[in-house]
């Protein structure tokens, strides 16, 4: 037992072990694991179905709420008085269904123009995927603080495991968790009626996970980098509260940037969430995929991930030990 | 390789440019010895350990462990040392075995080797039957033993123990001492430990350094330290109401005589020889000895002598600290 430690491993040794340590806290705890599956379902239901803005533009909303049969009849009378029988208007059959289909067509044009898809739910579903990725990674800063407070961090620092690995294992575990949850979100979205775009190919799902991987690595590195020195659990929580919602709403996740005010549009155009969400939308639900945009999305999010992860690792060399 | 396993020269740590936690300490630790830092809360013990185990950068001075510089060759140092921290750092959500294997992975030990070692270590710390239980369910003593096993997974040359028995009950404390003695005897390991328990320093350590306000005030074997006080304490009382201090102080080996509440507190070397001499001298002059006791000095007296205060108060604040930490752990669980 007095032999020297003869195993001098690579710079990356311990990465999987430490990542798996974090993951075990999740998949070995039934309650937490179940909640992490239920949570996306709730968000999907609330954001995608309950707050269905798309319905405002759909034909059914016009017929049900505005176009009562009597109004339709009056409308037809008015048209007839001006010598324009309703039957002459394209698509206008002489009943309320006709009107409905016109408005429905109009609604689809609006949806297509602003949301790039006729299915508002599909638009939102992708937003929820981004939302899931953001909120799951936002917690990654907390575990660094816990490890510091409970002494595990000091123990890890006294072993030859590299400082970068300590931090990157946190990044990776948060990334795996959010990718898993995003996968669940996609499955649930399909069950709830996500409409794939005409250009969709099942292989693109790999692309979706690739961009999610990049954005999650970037985001969790960012949250860890911000809280790397803090010793109080309140700090990462405050940071989370401060950053997540602005990051969410100053992006195209829930709302198309084309109808944002200019200043917000500018902010959104720097927000990596915008690019990640755009890539997922292009790959999943758009009828025509603009590959050049997808390329830009990947490049932007990729650079974001590499830069922030590098900053995180550099900070870990400097600030993990005092 | 030199016989000095650890060598510190002018090691200093200043926090926030003002708080001097460790103040130019020099010490050498020889191969195979158990070296103890004894001192109260905030004396700089843990700060010193943290610098030696490379998780804290010294402000000034240098130190080496097994010849490796703690700053320039910190990764070499990390490879050859084992650390048993003050806190219970094992992951509560993992089992005992999983924790040991996690430590092994942090040292880059191949899984097959790690599993073999884990079996041996679990046997050593008597946790084999609990290896698949989550650490959450472990008692304080079991956690401490698990920390010990984790600290040994890389077969370290030097083991650092920071307050190894803090917050443990007497039986568990004694058991832990036995593990530590086994490590020294069977594996020829060098151990550096901090403690604030005088008894622990006395029975366990080959050499003790008393540290106070970031400075080492005295170093020596517990025996030497006690001797350095000038020997034993003899307490004598006589029936007659006269001051015999001068008479007593003339007896051979007597170093100091103090009269306190009618009794004489005598500091003398070789108390067991000197006490009869004193009695004889007194009797020759016709005095009657009414009371006599002989105490060998404990480390507490040594401590008192060099730091000017008792360790008892410090001990209490430590216990409070330990219980506070326990609360925090519960809060998390």
Q: Which domains does chain B have, with CATH numbers?
A: 4-226 (3.40.50.300), 230-296 (3.30.70.100)
Task: Tell me what the mean pLDDT of segment A79-86 comes to.
Answer: 68
- Cα distance between residue B248 and residue A322, in whole Å: 57
Write out the two tokens for B254: 């007597």
Task: Tell me what the mean pLDDT of segment B226-241 comes to.
Answer: 83
Q: State yes or no: pLDDT of A2 exceeds 70.
A: no
CA distance A31 to chain B (A): 13
- Give A 9-38 residues with CB within 8 A of chain B: 9-10, 13-14, 16-18, 21, 24-25, 28-29
Q: Which of A99-113, A138-152, B119-133, B229-243 has the lowest mean pLDDT?
A: A99-113
- What is the predicted pLDDT for the residue at A1? 37
Contact B89 A321 (CB under 8 A): no
- Give B 178-197 residues with CB within 8 A of chain A: 186-189
SS3 B309: coil
B136 inside 8 A of chain A by CB:
no
Chain B residues whose CB is inside 8 A of the A11 CB are: none
**0.90 exceeded by pTM:** no
Radius of gyration, CA atoms only, chain B: 24
pLDDT band of residue B333 (cuts 50, 70, 90) is very low
Write out the two tokens for A243: 């950053």
Chain B residues whose CB is inside 8 A of the A7 CB are: 107-110, 113
CA distance A314 to chain B (A): 16
Residues across chain A = 322
Q: Which of A5, A17, A154 has its CB closest to that of B155? A: A5
pLDDT band of residue A4 (cuts 50, 70, 90) is very low
Q: Residue B233: beta bridge partners? A: B267, B295
- State the greatest distance between any 2 C-alpha atoms of chain A, in Å, as a whole number: 105
Contact A14 B105 (CB under 8 A): yes
Strands B263-268 and B232-238, by their bridges, are: antiparallel
pLDDT band of residue B255 (cuts 50, 70, 90) is confident
Percent share of chain A, pLDDT over 90: 31
- Give A 64-103 residues with CB within 8 A of chain B: none
Q: Which of B94, B108, B328 has its CB closest to that of A8? A: B108
- What is the predicted pLDDT for the residue at B141? 87
Residues across chain B = 333
Query: In b/e form, how buried is each residue of B69-95, taking b as 16+ CB within 10 angstroms?
Result: ebeebbebbbbbbbbbbbbbbbbbbbb
- Which residue has better confidence, A104 or A155? A155
Radius of gyration, CA atoms only, chain A: 25
How many Cβ pairs within 8 Å bridge chains A and B?
112
Write out the two tokens for A102: 């016109």
- What is the predicted pLDDT for the residue at B311? 61
- Cα distance between residue B26 and residue B11, in whole Å: 7
pLDDT band of residue B23 (cuts 50, 70, 90) is very high
Q: What is the mean pLDDT of chain A?
A: 82
Q: Which of A26-35, A136-145, A240-249, B29-38 has the lowest mean pLDDT?
A: A26-35
Sign of torsion, CA B180 B181 B186 B189? Answer: positive
Task: Tell me what the mean pLDDT of segment B183-197 comes to.
Answer: 89
Chain B residues whose CB is inside 8 A of the A151 CB are: 85-89
B19 inside 8 A of chain A by CB:
no
Task: Tell me what the mean pLDDT of segment A84-103 comes to.
Answer: 56
User: In degrees, to the nearest 5, what angle opens at C-alpha A208 toward C-alphas A205 and A214?
Assistant: 145
Over residues B99-147, the pLDDT tens digits come to: 999 999 999 999 999 999 999 999 988 999 999 999 999 988 899 899 9
Over residues A179-191, the pLDDT tens digits come to: 998 888 888 888 8
pLDDT band of residue A236 (cuts 50, 70, 90) is confident
pLDDT band of residue A99 (cuts 50, 70, 90) is low
Contact B332 A18 (CB under 8 A): no
SS3 B63: strand
Q: Which of A22-26, A41-45, B67-71 has the lowest mean pLDDT?
A: A41-45
Q: Which of A117-121, A160-164, A192-196, A266-270 has the lowest mean pLDDT?
A: A117-121
Over residues A271-299, the pLDDT tens digits come to: 999 999 999 999 999 888 899 999 999 99
Q: Which of B108, B150, B189 has its CB closest to that of A14? A: B108
Q: How many helices (H) and strands (E) does chain B have?
A: 12, 14
Q: What is the residue extent of each domain of chain A?
A: 15-51+117-319, 57-112
Write out the two tokens for B166: 């803090």
Contact B106 A161 (CB under 8 A): yes
Over residues A254-271, the pLDDT tens digits come to: 888 888 899 999 999 999
Cβ–Cβ under 8 Å, residues A117 and A195: yes
Q: Which of A115-129, A212-226, A232-246, B314-328 has the lowest mean pLDDT?
A: B314-328
CB atoms within 10 A of CB A248: 18
- Cα distance between residue B91 and residue B96, in whole Å: 9
CA distance B77 to chain A (A): 8
Burial of B267 (0-12, 13-18, 19+ CB in 10 A): buried
User: In degrees, to the nearest 5, what angle opens at C-alpha A26 toward C-alphas A23 and A27?
Assistant: 85
SS3 B123: helix
- What is the predicted pLDDT for the residue at B192? 96
CA distance A27 to chain B (A): 11
B103 inside 8 A of chain A by CB:
yes
User: In degrees, to the nearest 5, what angle opens at C-alpha B144 toward C-alphas B141 and B150?
Assistant: 145
Q: Which of A77-81, A302-306, B56-60, B230-234 has the lowest mean pLDDT?
A: A77-81
- Cα distance between residue B36 and residue B21, in whole Å: 18
A319 inside 8 A of chain B by CB:
no
**Secondary element (H or E) of residue B36:** strand B34-38
SS3 B37: strand
Task: Tell me what the mean pLDDT of segment B307-317 comes to.
Answer: 62
A270 inside 8 A of chain B by CB:
no
Over residues A197-213, the pLDDT tens digits come to: 888 999 999 999 999 99
B158 inside 8 A of chain A by CB:
no
Chain A residues whose CB is inside 8 A of the B79 CB are: 4-5, 8, 160
Over residues A132-176, the pLDDT tens digits come to: 889 889 888 888 888 888 889 999 999 999 888 999 999 999 999
pLDDT band of residue B305 (cuts 50, 70, 90) is confident
- What is the predicted pLDDT for the residue at B67? 93
B80 inside 8 A of chain A by CB:
yes
């Amino acid at each position: 037992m007095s032999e020297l430690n003869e195993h001098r491993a690579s710079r990356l040794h311990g990465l999987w072990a430490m990542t798996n340590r974090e993951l075990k806290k999740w998949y070995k705890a039934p309650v937490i694991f179940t909640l992490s599956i239920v949570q996306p379902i709730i968000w999907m239901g609330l954001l995608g179905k309950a707050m269905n803005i798309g319905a405002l533009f759909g034909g059914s909303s016009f017929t049900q709420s505005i176009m009562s049969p009597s109004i339709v009849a009056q409308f037809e009378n008015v048209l007839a008085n001006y010598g324009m029988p309703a039957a002459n208007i394209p698509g206008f059959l002489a009943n309320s269904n006709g009107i409905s289909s016109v408005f429905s067509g109009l609604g689809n044009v609006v949806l297509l123009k602003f949301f790039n898809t006729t299915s508002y739910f599909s638009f939102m579903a992708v937003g929820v995927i981004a939302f899931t990725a953001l909120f799951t990674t936002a917690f990654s800063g907390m575990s660094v603080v816990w490890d510091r407070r409970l002494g595990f961090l000091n123990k890890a620092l006294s072993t030859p495991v590299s400082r970068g690995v300590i931090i990157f294992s946190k990044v990776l575990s948060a990334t795996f968790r959010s990718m898993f949850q995003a996968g669940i979100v996609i499955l649930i979205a399909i069950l709830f009626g996500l409409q794939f775009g005409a250009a969709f190919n099942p292989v693109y799902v790999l692309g979706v996970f690739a961009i999610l991987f990049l954005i999650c690595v970037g985001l969790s590195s960012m949250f860890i980098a911000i809280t790397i020195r803090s010793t109080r659990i309140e700090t990462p929580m405050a940071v989370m509260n401060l950053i997540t919602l602005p990051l969410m709403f100053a992006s195209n996740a829930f709302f198309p940037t084309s109808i944002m005010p200019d200043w917000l549009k500018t902010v959104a155009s720097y927000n990596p969430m915008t690019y990640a969400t755009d890539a997922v939308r292009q790959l999943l639900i758009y009828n025509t995929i603009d590959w050049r945009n997808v390329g830009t999305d990947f490049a932007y999010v990729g650079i974001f991930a590499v830069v922030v992860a590098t900053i995180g690792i550099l900070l870990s060399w400097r600030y993990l030990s005092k | 390789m030199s016989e000095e396993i650890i060598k510190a020269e002018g090691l200093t740590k200043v926090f926030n440019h003002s708080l001097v936690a460790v103040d130019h300490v020099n010490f050498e630790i020889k191969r195979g010895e158990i070296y103890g830092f004894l001192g109260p809360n905030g004396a700089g013990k843990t700060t010193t350990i943290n610098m030696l185990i490379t998780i804290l950068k010294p402000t000034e001075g240098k130190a080496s462990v097994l010849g490796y510089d703690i700053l320039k060759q910190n990764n070499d140092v990390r490879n050859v040392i084992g650390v048993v921290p003050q806190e219970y750092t094992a992951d509560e959500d993992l089992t005992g075995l999983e924790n040991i294997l996690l430590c092994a992975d942090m040292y880059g030990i191949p899984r097959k080797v790690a599993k073999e070692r884990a079996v041996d270590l679990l046997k050593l710390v008597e946790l084999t039957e609990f290896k698949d239980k989550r650490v959450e369910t472990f008692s304080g003593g079991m956690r401490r033993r698990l920390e010990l096993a984790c600290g040994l997974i890389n077969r370290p040359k030097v083991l650092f123990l920071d307050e190894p028995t803090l917050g443990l009950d007497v039986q568990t404390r004694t058991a832990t001492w036995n593990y530590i003695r086994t490590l020294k005897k069977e594996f020829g390991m060098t151990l550096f430990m901090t403690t604030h328990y005088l008894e622990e320093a006395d029975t366990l350590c080959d050499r003790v350094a008393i540290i106070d306000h970031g400075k080492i005030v005295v170093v020596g074997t517990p025996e030497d330290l006690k001797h350095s006080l000038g020997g034993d304490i003899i307490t004598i009382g006589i029936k007659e109401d006269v001051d015999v201090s001068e008479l007593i102080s003339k007896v051979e080996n007597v170093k100091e005589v103090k009269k306190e509440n009618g009794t004489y507190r005598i500091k003398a070397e070789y108390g067991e020889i000197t006490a009869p001499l004193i009695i004889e001298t007194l009797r020759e002059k016709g005095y009657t000895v009414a009371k006599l006791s002989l105490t060998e000095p404990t480390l507490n007296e040594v401590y008192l002598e060099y730091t000017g205060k008792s360790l008892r108060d410090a001990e209490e604040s430590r216990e409070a600290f330990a219980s506070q930490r326990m609360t925090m752990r519960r809060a998390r669980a």
